[in-house]
Amino acid sequence: PLPEGKKVLHAIPRYYTLDGQERVKQPVGMHGTRLDVETHIITASVSSVQNLVKCIRATGIDVEDLILEPLASGEAALTPEEREGGVIMADIGGGTTDIAVFRDGNIYHTSIIPVAGYQVTSDISIGLGLPFNVAEKMKKSYGNVSTQVDIDKAPEVGIENGHSASYRDLCDIIRSRMEELFELILLEMPTTDYRSLAPFGMVLTGGTANLTGLDELGRSVLRIPVRKGQPLDTSIYGITDVLRDSAYATTVGLILWQARNKEGSMWQARKAGILGGFVSFIRRLFRG
C-alpha cells in the first residue's frame, strides 16, 4: 500500500517474466500461463500535486498530465544507445537537481536533490556581498567552472549599478558548489559501482547545465563520460534554433512524451503557429 498522502505519478515497467523466462521486454503476442512484471513506481505528495495544479490552472492553463522532469528531459536529450546501455540523467534546474538512471531501455532509478542553480546564486550573493538578482546575472554571464581557464589573468567582472567582483572568487564559489553537487549525485546512486551501472556516463540538462566547463568538471570529479544534453529531435515545425539548448530539454521532452505516449496527441493535431506559440510561452516561463 502507498504511504498516506502519496499518489502514483508513474508506474513504469522495467521488464517482464513470462513462465520463468526473465527480462522479457515486450510480452505482447507471446504465449504463457504466468506473467510477472518488475515496475518502477514514482510517487508524489497529493497535497503538493494539488497545489501545483491549482497554481497552473489559476493562470488559465489546464493540466492534462504530470511528468517527472528527468523523464521528460530523457525523452529529448538521450540517445537510444545511452538508454539501452546505461546512463545517468541529471537535470539541474533552479531549485532541484532531478536524477534518473536509464538502463536496458527503461528507467532504473530516480532521485531528487535539493541543490541546484538557486543555491549557486545564493552562494555568490552571500560570498561576494551582492544583491541576489546581480549574483544571478553574474553567474549566467561570467560563470566558468572549467579547469583550463586561466583565472589569475582574468580582470574584475563588472555588472550594472556599479557592482563588481573578482573573476577568480566568482569561479571558485561556483566550482565549489558544483563539485559538491556531483558528489551528492553519487550518493544517490543505487550502487557504489556506478561506472558499471552507467557505462555511457552522465548527461547534463537544465539551465544550470549551460555553465561553461560543467561537463569538463563532471568528468574530473566522477571519472566517467559527461556531456551536456540538448534536445536531439528539434525538427518541430522549423523551430530548431529556439530549442537547441539544455534549458529546453524538459520543454521538448514534454512535447515528445505526449506525442509518443498518448493517442491522438496534439503533435498530430496542431499547426505550426499554435505549437510555435506554445513553445514561445514555455520559453518565457522557464528560461533561466
Q: Render pLDDT for 245-286 as a digit per residue (tens, 0 to 9).
A: 899 899 888 888 887 776 544 444 443 444 455 555 555 554
CA pair distance 59, 101, nearest whole angstrom: 33
Statement: residue 156 has pLDDT above 70: no
Chain mean position to CA 267: 22
Q: Is the pLDDT of residue 234 over 60?
A: no
Rounded CA-CA distance 260/40 in Å is: 19
Strand boundaries in 118-229, DSSP class E: 157-158, 164-165, 202-205, 226-228
| Closest listed residue to residue 117, CA positions, set 247, 285, 281, 250 | 247
86 has a pLDDT exceeding 90: yes
What local confidence, expressed as pLDDT, does residue 64 receive? Answer: 85
Taking alpha carbons only, the member of 206, 214, 235 closest to residue 72 is 206
Q: Residue 231 corresponds to which amino acid?
A: P
Please report which helix (H) or strand (E) contains residue 278, including its range. Answer: helix 272-286
Least confident of 136-145, 154-163, 242-251: 154-163
Q: Which residues pair with 91 in a beta bridge?
A: 98, 205
**Stretch among 6-20, 209-223, 238-252 having the lowest mean pLDDT:** 238-252
In this prediction, residue 20 carries a pLDDT of 87
Query: Domains in the chain, please, with CATH?
Result: 1-63 (no CATH), 64-277 (3.30.420.40)
pLDDT value at residue 208: 95
Q: Say what the pTM is.
A: 0.82
31-35, 119-123, 124-128, 158-162: least confident range: 158-162
Per-residue pLDDT of 30-40, as tens digits, reads 988 899 988 88
pLDDT tier at 153, thresholds 50, 70, 90: low
- Of 254, 282, 288, 287, whose CA–CA distance to 59 is shortest? 282
CA distances from 170 to 67, 96, 113, 125, 147 (A): 35, 21, 23, 10, 14
What is the chain's percent helix, strand, coil content, to nearest 5? 45, 20, 30
- When pLDDT is cut at 50, 70 and 90, the band that residue 126 belongs to is very high
The average pLDDT across 142-161 equals: 69
Structure confidence at residue 102 (pLDDT): 95
Question: By C-alpha distance, which of 66, 61, 89, 55 is closest to 249?
Answer: 89
Query: 195 Cβ partners below 8 Å, 6+ apart?
Result: 223, 224
CA distances 34 to 31, 39, 40, 183, 225, Å, are 9, 16, 20, 43, 40
Q: How many CB atoms lie within 10 A of CB 204?
A: 26
Section 158-184 average pLDDT: 87
Q: Pick the more confident residue, 27 or 261.
A: 27
Exposure letters 220-254 (e unless 16+ CB within 10 A, then b): ebbebbbbbbbbbebebeebeeebebbbbbbbbbb
Low-confidence winner among 58-67, 147-156, 226-235 (lowest mean pLDDT): 147-156
Query: Dihedral of the CA atoms 286, 117, 9, 53 (nearest 10)?
Result: -40
Q: How high is the pLDDT of residue 280? A: 52
The confidence band for 15, taking pLDDT boundaries of 50, 70 and 90, is confident
